[in-house]
């Protein structure tokens, strides 16, 4: 019987539950000194001077470094695509461009002294004009990088077909915000570094990509990659924002080199809210057209992406948005154009979904408005336009090729679980009765791209003479449960107990290569690599067994139930994995296989989410009553882990729809820079979820699996957003921008019923 598809409890858990994980800040580093960063209090200013005289004179302060002291190059562009003038320096150089930008690094004997010293560094600024609104940034009236001559950091200048909507009976337009949010992993950024006795840089990092950190340190500090050893201990969440290397990481490594002392850095939460990359941050203009019978014929989206102060990964997020332009619908004509602009705010980066939630949010919101315009039920409109299961592989108008799917099945199941017709009846009842608490029902049909980047992955399996199986992987889990999942894959192939399997990750000396964990790639590339290595090691074991039994290679059988090899027909005479590993050791080899699996290519998970909300029309308060999620990520290896991924994604998605937003004032001052100010969603604002999986295996990879890490976020946000707007639609409210906070919902209702124009909510 296969272990795959069964509910296997996590092997990781006992440690976390009894003594806690070991995060970077928990590591013992005797004699270590502490780094803190002087950060800009201005959103845009010329640095006149940095006076660290007093700080340097404090007992226990070792040094204060500015960018000039470091002499390190700027960060490179993203894959050569972003504007070269807009990449970040290590520390601010001449100009600060956002509140929180690191200006100087203080090294002191203790964290307390380093923090006290922060207050003794005097930075004199000459204010410059602040650009905080991306719409204004696009006009290039005030420039962040005068040398660049523009605020645009990256663009996908496609489309502009004037005839796109010519045959449409109905055309609906909307400008909507996909607001800036903060990823907020519970563990903030942290690093520790020291030089080993043999002169190598030993570096601990809270990252999603240890090999990426190794390579970046080597590049910036002018070392060979093998002179850098990165170890990633337990990581307290990442959500995309720990996929990139930050200037602070490099500075910590530089300080360890420079001072020859162990160095550590852990930011505060309030620093993290400004320093860790933000997510989303798009303004979208969408237009949809079709017939009164509900055939969608044309769709256009124009994206304005807020890059923040420097062009990092956030600048290229629209690339993914564009790939998913037309969503799960068979739309004959669809276009996407995007413009990424710099503003005086924290740089944006990947955040759970990274460009795809934005695409889904746009099309799902306008689908609801289109349905309303032609007076059709939104579920029916979706049903009429979903791509049919026989259409795959399906090439969209922007040339994305969806692998496989059964979108109608997911929609139908979601409607059934929700009891859709009864919900609509209850809604009518409350509307007719004029209840204070109105019911909203929101749908979201989504398709998204996982494993969208081209990287392959490393995987290795070794069976040792003591019977232990050592698995090494280039993926770098930070909560996903790879130790359990990869153990299941190997146990399945080898027929050994998962307790006999050790999974090693996050150590660049032990795992030679790896692309890390991001973009919902891990199972379909990293897991597939480990799976292939396990298949290969079985083949090697059969070679050894053939020699030992003096039998034909093709007659060797692995009895997976017992983890033993024998010749076909003579099971009584068998050898264990340990015995074969012993035999290999005697030959001076190892029972070992390693694989560098090229990426099998992207896959396209899909599903339907339905949200049921209650809106208090007197206060604007939204209460999520139910959330139904039907997701299809191909074959499910671990239902326990897959469900957990969906749960977490839903919460983050609901958070964006209802609560969370990074807010700046017009001077670029952050108003949400602590967890007391930022509306991080809690258990009190959420229901338990109703999750279901349909399984449509993908032909793209050997496991038949698609990524499930981000689907929850992608599917949930538009469902909740649509539900809130649906609850008050009958009062004359057309649209409310996210987050649909009580004040926005109340204002929208108030505007509608008092006739003060359509509710803005935003733009």
Partner 1 sequence: MQIDITVNGTAESHDVEARTLLVYYLRDAVGLKGTNVGCDTTSCGACTVLLNGESVKSCTVLAAQVAGEEVTTIEGLALEDGRMHPVQQAFQECHGLQCGYCTPGMVMAITSLLAENPDPTEEYIRLGLEGNLCRCTGYHNIVAAALAASQALEMRQ
Report CA-CA distances (Å) from 75 to 89, 96, 217, 553, 678.
Answer: 6, 16, 12, 54, 29
In this complex, which beta carbon is closest to partner 1, that of residue 14 or of residue 393? 14
Residue appearing with tokens 């049909």: 445
In this complex, which beta carbon is closest to partner 1, that of residue 140 or of residue 685? 685
* In the complex, minimum distance from the CB of residue 26 to partner 1, in angstroms, rounded to a whole number: 4
In this complex, which beta carbon is closest to partner 1, that of residue 208 or of residue 346? 208
* In the complex, minimum distance from the CB of residue 713 to partner 1, in angstroms, rounded to a whole number: 10
* In the complex, minimum distance from the CB of residue 359 to partner 1, in angstroms, rounded to a whole number: 22
Identify whether 183 is preceded by a cis peptide bond (ω within 30 of 0): no
* In the complex, minimum distance from the CB of residue 549 to partner 1, in angstroms, rounded to a whole number: 42
Name the DSSP class of 70: H
* In the complex, minimum distance from the CB of residue 477 to partner 1, in angstroms, rounded to a whole number: 9
Tokens of residue 644, six digits:
């957990």
* In the complex, minimum distance from the CB of residue 440 to partner 1, in angstroms, rounded to a whole number: 20
Name the DSSP class of 214: H
In this complex, which beta carbon is closest to partner 1, that of residue 210 or of residue 648? 648
Please select the residue that binds partner 1; options are 312, 318, 347, 648, rule is CB under 8 A: 648
If one asks whether residue 187 binds partner 1 (CB under 8 A), the answer comes out as: yes
E strands, 365-523, where? 394-395, 401-402, 437-447, 457-463, 469-473, 501-504
Size of the site for partner 1 (CB under 8 A): 55
CA 119 to chain centre: 35
- Which residues, in sequence order, are bridge partners of residue 302? 285, 337
Identify whether 393 is preceded by a cis peptide bond (ω within 30 of 0): yes
Please select the residue that binds partner 1; options are 447, 651, 705, 738, rule is CB under 8 A: 651
Name the DSSP class of 92: -
Scan residues 460-489 and list those touching partner 1 (CB under 8 A): 478-481
* In the complex, minimum distance from the CB of residue 720 to partner 1, in angstroms, rounded to a whole number: 13
Q: Which helix (H) or strand (E) holds 628?
A: strand 622-632
Backbone angles phi, psi at 688, to 5 degrees: -75, 150
In this complex, which beta carbon is closest to partner 1, that of residue 7 or of residue 586? 7
If one asks whether residue 671 binds partner 1 (CB under 8 A), the answer comes out as: no
Query: Measured between alpha carbons, how far is 632 from 528 in angstroms, rounded to an integer?
Result: 19
β 263-266/33-39 pair status: parallel
Tokens of residue 583, six digits:
């035999």
In this complex, which beta carbon is closest to partner 1, that of residue 1 or of residue 17? 17
Asked if 523 contacts 707 with a C-beta cutoff of 8 angstroms, the reply is yes
In this complex, which beta carbon is closest to partner 1, that of residue 52 or of residue 190? 190
Which x/- pattern over 3-32 shows residues binding partner 1 (rule: CB under 8 A)? ------xx-xxx-xxxxxxxx-xx------
Scan residues 228-247 and list those touching partner 1 (CB under 8 A): 234-237, 239
Asked if 365 contacts 174 with a C-beta cutoff of 8 angstroms, the reply is yes
* In the complex, minimum distance from the CB of residue 621 to partner 1, in angstroms, rounded to a whole number: 15
In this complex, which beta carbon is closest to partner 1, that of residue 556 or of residue 651? 651
Query: Measured between alpha carbons, how far is 729 from 732 in angstroms, rounded to an integer?
Result: 5
Tokens of residue 122, six digits:
């005097």
In this complex, which beta carbon is closest to partner 1, that of residue 355 or of residue 481? 481
Scan residues 98-157 and list those touching partner 1 (CB under 8 A): 112
If one asks whether residue 637 binds partner 1 (CB under 8 A), the answer comes out as: no
Query: Measured between alpha carbons, how far is 647 from 643 in angstroms, rounded to an integer?
Result: 6
CB under 8 Å to 442, separation ≥6 — which residues? 368, 610, 611, 612, 613, 718, 719, 720, 721, 722, 723, 724, 725, 726
Q: Which helix (H) or strand (E) holds 603?
A: none
* In the complex, minimum distance from the CB of residue 116 to partner 1, in angstroms, rounded to a whole number: 11
**Of 169-177, 439-447, 526-534, 684-692: span binding partner 1 (CB under 8 A):** 684-692
If one asks whether residue 270 binds partner 1 (CB under 8 A), the answer comes out as: yes
Please select the residue that binds partner 1; options are 47, 184, 496, 529, rule is CB under 8 A: 184
Scan residues 37-56 and list those touching partner 1 (CB under 8 A): none
Please select the residue that binds partner 1; options are 268, 291, 395, 623, rule is CB under 8 A: 268
* In the complex, minimum distance from the CB of residue 612 to partner 1, in angstroms, rounded to a whole number: 16
* In the complex, minimum distance from the CB of residue 633 to partner 1, in angstroms, rounded to a whole number: 16
- Which residues, in sequence order, are bridge partners of residue 591? 463
Query: Measured between alpha carbons, how far is 134 from 308 in angstroms, rounded to an integer?
Result: 9
- Cα four-point dihedral sign 710, 308, 278, 176: negative
* In the complex, minimum distance from the CB of residue 7 to partner 1, in angstroms, rounded to a whole number: 9
Q: To 5 degrees, how large is the angle CA 137–CA 68–CA 257?
A: 120
Asked if 320 contacts 143 with a C-beta cutoff of 8 angstroms, the reply is no
User: Which three-class secondary structure state does DSSP give residue 307?
Assistant: strand
If one asks whether residue 647 binds partner 1 (CB under 8 A), the answer comes out as: yes
Please select the residue that binds partner 1; options are 406, 492, 632, 643, rule is CB under 8 A: 643
* In the complex, minimum distance from the CB of residue 641 to partner 1, in angstroms, rounded to a whole number: 8
Scan residues 693-732 and list those touching partner 1 (CB under 8 A): 712
| Binding site residues, partner 1, CB under 8 A | 9-10, 12-14, 16-23, 25-26, 112, 183-188, 234-237, 239, 268-270, 478-481, 640-641, 643-644, 647-652, 674-676, 680, 682-684, 686, 688-689, 712
């Amino acid at each position: 019987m296969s272990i795959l598809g069964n509910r296997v409890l996590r092997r990781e858990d006992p440690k976390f539950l009894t003594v806690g994980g070991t995060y970077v800040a928990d590591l013992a580093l005797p004699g270590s000194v502490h780094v803190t960063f002087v950060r800009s209090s201005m959103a845009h200013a010329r640095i006149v001077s940095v006076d660290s005289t007093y700080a340097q004179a404090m007992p226990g302060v070792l040094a204060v470094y500015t960018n000039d002291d470091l002499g390190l190059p700027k960060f490179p562009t993203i894959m050569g695509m972003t504007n070269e003038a807009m990449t970040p320096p290590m520390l601010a150089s001449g100009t600060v461009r956002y509140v929180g930008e690191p200006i100087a690094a203080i090294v002191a004997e203790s964290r307390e002294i380093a923090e006290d010293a922060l207050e003794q560094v005097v930075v004199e600024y000459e204010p410059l004009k602040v650009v905080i609104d991306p719409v204004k940034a696009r006009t290039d009236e005030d420039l962040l990088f005068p040398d660049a001559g523009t605020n645009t950091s990256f663009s996908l200048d496609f489309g502009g077909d004037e005839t796109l909507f010519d045959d449409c009976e109905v055309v609906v337009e909307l400008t909507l915000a996909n607001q800036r949010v903060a990823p907020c992993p519970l563990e903030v950024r942290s690093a520790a570094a020291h030089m080993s006795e043999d002169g190598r840089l030993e570096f601990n990092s809270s990252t999603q990509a240890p090999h990426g950190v190794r390579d970046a340190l080597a590049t910036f500090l002018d070392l060979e990659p093998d002179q850098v050893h990165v170890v990633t201990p337990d990581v307290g969440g990442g959500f995309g924002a720990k996929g990139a290397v930050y200037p602070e990481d490099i500075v910590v490594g530089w300080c360890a080199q420079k001072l020859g002392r162990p160095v550590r850095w852990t930011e505060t939460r309030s620093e993290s809210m400004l320093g860790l990359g933000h997510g989303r941050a798009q303004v979208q203009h969408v237009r949809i057209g079709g017939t009164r019978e509900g055939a969608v014929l044309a769709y256009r989206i124009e994206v304005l992406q807020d890059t923040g102060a420097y062009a990092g990964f956030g600048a290229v997020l629209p690339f993914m948005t564009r790939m998913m332009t037309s969503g799960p619908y068979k739309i004959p004509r669809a276009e996407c154009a995007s413009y990424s602009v710099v503003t005086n705010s924290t740089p944006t980066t990947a955040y759970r979904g990274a460009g795809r939630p934005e695409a889904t949010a746009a099309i799902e919101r306008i689908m609801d408005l289109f349905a309303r315009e032609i007076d059709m039920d939104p579920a029916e409109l979706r049903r009429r336009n979903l791509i049919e299961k026989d259409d795959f592989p399906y090439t969209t108008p922007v040339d994305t090729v969806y692998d496989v799917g059964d979108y109608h099945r997911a929609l139908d199941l979601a409607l059934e679980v929700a009891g859709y017709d009864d919900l609509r009846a209850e809604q009518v009842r409350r509307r007719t009765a004029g209840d204070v608490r109105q019911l909203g029902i929101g749908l979201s049909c989504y398709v998204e791209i996982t494993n969208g980047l081209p990287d392959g992955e490393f995987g290795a399996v070794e069976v040792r003479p003591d019977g232990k199986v050592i698995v090494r992987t280039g993926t770098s889990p930070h909560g996903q449960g790879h130790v359990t999942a990869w153990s299941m894959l190997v146990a399945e192939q080898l027929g050994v107990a998962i307790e006999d399997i050790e999974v090693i990750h996050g150590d660049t000396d032990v795992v030679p290569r790896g692309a890390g964990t991001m973009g919902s790639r891990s199972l379909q590339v990293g897991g597939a690599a480990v799976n292939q290595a396990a298949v290969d090691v079985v083949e090697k074991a059969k070679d050894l067994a053939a020699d030992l039994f003096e039998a034909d290679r093709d007659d060797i059988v692995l009895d997976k139930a017992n983890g033993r090899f024998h010749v076909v027909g003579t099971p009584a005479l068998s050898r264990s994995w340990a015995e074969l590993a012993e035999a290999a050791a005697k030959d001076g080899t190892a029972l070992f296989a390693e694989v560098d699996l090229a990426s099998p290519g992207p896959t396209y998970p899909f599903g339907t989410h339905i949200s049921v909300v209650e809106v208090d029309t007197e206060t604007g308060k939204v209460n999520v009553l139910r959330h139904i999620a039907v997701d299809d990520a191909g074959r499910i290896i671990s239902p326990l882990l897959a469900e957990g991924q969906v749960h977490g994604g839903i919460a983050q998605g609901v958070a964006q729809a209802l609560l969370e937003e990074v807010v700046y004032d017009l001077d670029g001052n952050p108003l949400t820079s602590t967890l007391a100010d930022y509306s991080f969603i809690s258990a009190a604002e959420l229901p338990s979820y109703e999750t279901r999986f349909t399984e449509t295996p993908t032909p793209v990879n050997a496991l038949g699996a698609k990524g499930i890490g981000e689907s929850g976020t992608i599917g949930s946000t538009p469902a909740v957003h649509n539900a809130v707007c649906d609850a008050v639609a009958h009062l004359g409210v057309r649209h409310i921008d996210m987050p649909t906070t009580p004040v926005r919902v109340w204002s929208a209702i108030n505007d509608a019923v008092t006739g003060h124009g359509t509710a803005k909510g935003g733009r």
